[in-house]
């Protein structure tokens, strides 16, 4: 019926306070009624006792023997005396209920006579009638002298003042109680809003999160449990956002790795298929013709040998890419000496391209590594520099100590590589474009170089700008005595 906590709070508090107010009001009314009844009863008992004393004294003074006759004869005098003595209207009746005399007949006429009927039966009775704040009592009792009922006295007493006071007290209590309950209900309503409004905000925020909006936050300055709940909710959303971001990055990374793996196998397949197709073609033609065409036979055999060597070289490079911490043990190696040797050996290859290599190394540049693999690293980087540098250029190879790192710098002039290709150049078979790929190259040199650097705990990065390409390699330095 009520779907919101706010509505349940309001209706619940209203019912509780309304019922409590009604119960309190009825209780107060009953207490006042009972109190008034006790006061009236006590007053009427006193009235009866005083009037009895008066009647008995009148009978004793006059020594009447026929009490019923005397009661009738003295009715007028007795009614007037009691009227003045009790400040009440009085009527005297025979034992059968016949009116003898009344101080004010109008007060007794036209009103209920239940009390009189009870007095005729020998009982004391009274009847209270009240209208709003006015109250009057008709009180009747039989007069008994020496065990004989001689008549009936009936009193009409005004209790308006008593009921007026009771009415005012009841009104005061009513308004005070109403004010208290109204204030309590208002406080309860404010308290319920204080509780439900943050819950409504939390519900809306959680709905937004359910619908995929993770940018929603709950602003709360409260320090109570609801404030802590809001803080925990915001922290939870932050954690969820962080986890989703991590998952998305991992997803994108896996997708990228999957694409790289696909490109890798596509390139491997292509690079292996091309020479194998050429070798197979020449081999089948030589098998058919034999040495009949000597010139074709020599050309085919030379082609088969060259392609076989290229395949062999490609397989060795693929094995190098997959190599991880196998082979020789790590030891202290002087990288400066290795770099000088490599520069000397690669100078002959550079001269074939009409280029030169300038080598500058410091002494005692020791690292903890594998000499053969470091030699392969320098060969690959210098080989790339020779192949992709500008014609008749000068290639620089430096080795120096930078803090706790041995830094190798390979610098050559050439075409500027676009920035978006720099990071991917270390992926197997990746090419920045046709002009950055030499005929016969399979694109594994930089991938092998990165693998070697990673295994030695170092880093490699490539910078290309203003027609100048520089490769930086950093490997942790170790002292010779260490």
Q: Are residues 167 and 273 in the same domain?
A: no
287 plus 339 within the same structural domain? no
The tokens of 35 are what? 């109190």
Tell me, what CATH number does 261's domain have? 1.10.287.130
> Token digits for 453?
């650097």
Low-confidence ranges of the chain (pLDDT < 50): 325, 434-436, 438-440, 442, 482
* Tokens representing residue 424 in the block: 């991917």
* Site of tokens 């009344």: 102
Which pLDDT belongs to residue 482?
A: 46
Q: Which domain holds residue 422?
A: 328-476
397 and 294 together in one domain: no
Q: Encode pLDDT of 232-277 as tens digits.
A: 888 888 888 888 888 988 898 888 778 767 766 766 676 677 678 7
Q: Which of 329, 462, 354 is nearest to 408 (CA)?
A: 462
Phi, then psi, of 90 in degrees rounded to 5: -130, 145
Q: CB neighbours of 287 closer than 8 A, spacing ≥ 6?
A: none
Would you mind telling me the total number of residues written for the chain in this entry? 482
For residues 19 and 164, membership in a common domain is answered with yes
pLDDT digits (tens, 9 = 90+) for 74-89: 888 888 888 888 888 9
Same domain, 310 and 337: no
CA–CA gap between residue 461 and residue 464 (Å, rounded): 10
16 and 151 in a common domain: yes
Beta-ladder partners of 102: 91
pLDDT at 440: 45
Q: What is the pTM of this model?
A: 0.43
Q: Which CATH number covers residue 167? A: 3.30.450.20
CA distance 143 to 48: 10
Give me the CATH number covering residue 351: 3.30.565.10
Q: Do 10 and 89 reside in the same domain of the chain?
A: yes
Cα 98 to Cα 181, 256, 373, 427, distances in angstroms: 55, 121, 143, 132
Instruction: From 277, 303, 322, give the residue that closes a domain.
Output: 322
The whole-angstrom separation of Cα 103 and Cα 259 is 122
Please report the pLDDT score of residue 65 as a whole number.
55
Are both 153 and 294 inside the same structural domain?
Answer: no
């Amino acid at each position: 019926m009520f779907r919101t906590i706010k509505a349940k709070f309001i209706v619940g508090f209203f019912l509780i306070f309304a019922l409590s107010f009604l119960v309190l009001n009825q209780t107060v009314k009953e207490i006042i009624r009972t109190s008034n009844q006790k006061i009236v009863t006590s007053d009427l008992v006193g009235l009866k006792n005083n009037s009895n004393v008066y009647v008995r004294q009148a009978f004793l003074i006059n020594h009447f023997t026929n009490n019923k006759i005397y009661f009738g004869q003295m009715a007028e005098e007795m009614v007037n005396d009691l009227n003045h003595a009790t400040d009440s209207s009085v009527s005297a009746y025979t034992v059968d209920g016949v009116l003898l005399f009344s101080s004010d007949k109008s007060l007794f006429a036209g009103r209920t006579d239940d009390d009189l009927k009870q007095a005729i039966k020998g009982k004391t009775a009274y009847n209270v009638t009240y209208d709003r704040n006015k109250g009057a009592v008709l009180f009747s009792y039989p007069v008994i002298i020496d065990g004989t009922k001689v008549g009936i006295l009936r009193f009409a007493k005004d209790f308006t003042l008593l009921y007026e006071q009771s009415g005012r007290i009841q009104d005061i209590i009513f308004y005070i109680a109403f004010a208290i309950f109204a204030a309590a209900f208002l406080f309860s309503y404010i308290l319920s809003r204080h509780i439900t409004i943050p819950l409504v905000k939390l519900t809306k925020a959680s709905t937004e999160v359910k619908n995929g909006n993770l940018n929603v936050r709950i602003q709360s300055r409260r320090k109570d449990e609801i404030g802590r709940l809001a803080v925990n909710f915001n922290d939870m959303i932050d954690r969820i956002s962080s986890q989703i971001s991590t998952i998305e990055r991992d997803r994108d990374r896996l997708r990228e790795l999957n694409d790289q793996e696909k490109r890798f196998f596509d390139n491997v397949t292509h690079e292996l298929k091309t020479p194998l197709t050429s070798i197979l073609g020449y081999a089948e033609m030589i098998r058919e013709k034999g040495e009949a065409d000597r010139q074709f036979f020599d050309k085919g055999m030379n082609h088969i040998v060259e392609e076989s060597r290229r395949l062999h070289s490609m397989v060795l490079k693929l094995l190098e890419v997959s190599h991880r911490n196998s082979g020789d043990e790590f030891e202290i190696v002087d990288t400066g000496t290795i770099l000088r040797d490599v520069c000397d050996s690669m100078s002959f290859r550079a001269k074939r391209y009409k280029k030169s290599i300038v080598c500058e190394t410091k002494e005692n540049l020791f690292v903890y590594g594998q000499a053969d693999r470091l030699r392969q690293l320098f060969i690959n980087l210098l080989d790339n520099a020779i192949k992709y540098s500008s014609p008749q250029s000068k290639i620089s190879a430096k080795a120096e100590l930078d803090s706790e790192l041995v830094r190798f710098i390979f610098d050559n002039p050439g075409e500027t590589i676009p920035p978006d290709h720099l990071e991917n150049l270390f992926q197997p078979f990746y090419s920045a474009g046709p002009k950055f790929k030499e005929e016969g190259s399979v694109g594994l040199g930089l991938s092998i170089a990165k693998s070697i650097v990673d295994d030695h705990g170092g880093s490699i990065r490539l910078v290309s700008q203003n027609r100048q390409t520089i490769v930086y390699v950093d490997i942790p330095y170790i002292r010779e005595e260490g």
